[in-house]
Structure 1
Amino acid sequence: MNGSASIPEDYIEAVRRSDSCEFARMLGMVVTGIEDGRVRVTMPIRGTRNAHGTTHGGAIFAIADHAFGIAANMEGIDQIAISAHIRYFSVPAGDSLEAVARRVSEGEMTSVYAVDVYSGDRLVAAFEGVGFRTGFPGKAVKPATR
């Protein structure tokens, strides 16, 4: 794992899966902690500037979406995103971003996660993702028929 600091043993596999994500590796994303139901991911922002000279919104979205994906899949039940929404509040001021994801609700087939993205102490964006369970431990969910 990429030097992950505070990862409970129960979640090592979820972090290994996230570390194998080619896109996350390309952007330098690292899981730095899982505690109190929250997943923390950091990413350097070097090389992510847009035409205005600020961090590209796609980079901010990417770290939020990655943290959401890890949080939604921590329990070993595969989930995919079916909806995501982000609100941007400020321009990052530091050299990196930190995304903090937490579960808001969970139903039989869907779940909702909130992710706050920070640059230092500054709240940069708030993300909400809806996950859909594609399986249960050891059992796949059959798609609906028409």
Structure 2
Amino acid sequence: MWAEDRASQGLGLRLIRVAPGEAEMTLTVAPHMANGHGICHGGFVFALADSAFAFACNSFNRRAVAQSNSITYLRPAQVGQVLTARAARAAEAGRSGIYDVLVTDEAGAAIAAFRGLSRSIDGTLVPEQTP
């Protein structure tokens, strides 16, 4: 999935870890990501959280897409900071999943809390081997 994710790569996101139901990604806030207040534009924070969510909900080799997402910004991110998004599955029922993502700065201070609702669709990311 990472090889085809040109959006995340183009934004400068780095995939650190993927495990069943979990993912971790980072982003260094570059000067071009600052808004008119001189802080990181919320869209970049959202994109980081959304990408971590995507990798977590696709980690079971079942294709999944977002149904809906919400984010709460807790404090501003500054240019030069390295942000980390850690996504984890909170619940799953049938084809629907709920994932929580916490975005933090280098000191571990919470920048944003994101909740993503996923929906499994047909197909796999990696061809499954048959015996």
Selected match of 1:71 from 32, 45, 56:
56
Q: How does 1:16-31 map to 2 (within 5 A)?
A: 17-31=1-15
The aligned counterpart of 2:16 is: 32
TM-score normalised by structure 1 residue count: 0.77
Gaps in structure 2 of 5+ consecutive residues: 126-131
Task: Say whether the 8 Å CA contact 1:48–1:59 is kept in structure 2.
Answer: yes
C-alpha offsets along residues 31-58 of structure 1, whole Å, 9 cap, x if unaligned?
1123585311011110210010000000
**Does 2:69 align with 1:84?**
yes
The aligned counterpart of 1:117 is: 103
Report how far residue 136 of structure 1 moved. Answer: 5.4
Report how far residue 30 of structure 1 moved. Answer: 1.1
Report how far residue 102 of structure 1 moved. Answer: 0.1
| The 10-residue stretch of structure 1 (61-70 or 21-30) with the greater mean CA deviation from structure 2 | 21-30
User: Quick one: distance in 2 between partners of 1:35 and 1:81?
Assistant: 19
Distance change >3 Å, CA 129–CA 75, structure 1 → 2: same
The aligned counterpart of 2:47 is: 62
Gaps in structure 1 of 5+ consecutive residues: 1-16, 139-146
CA RMSD, 1 decimal: 1.8
Q: How many residues align?
A: 122
Higher relative contact order (CA 8 A, sep 6+): 2
Task: Say whether the 8 Å CA contact 1:98–1:117 is kept in structure 2.
Answer: yes
User: Quick one: distance in 1 between partners of 2:66 and 2:86?
Assistant: 17
Task: Say whether the 8 Å CA contact 1:27–1:44 is kept in structure 2.
Answer: no
The aligned counterpart of 1:131 is: 118
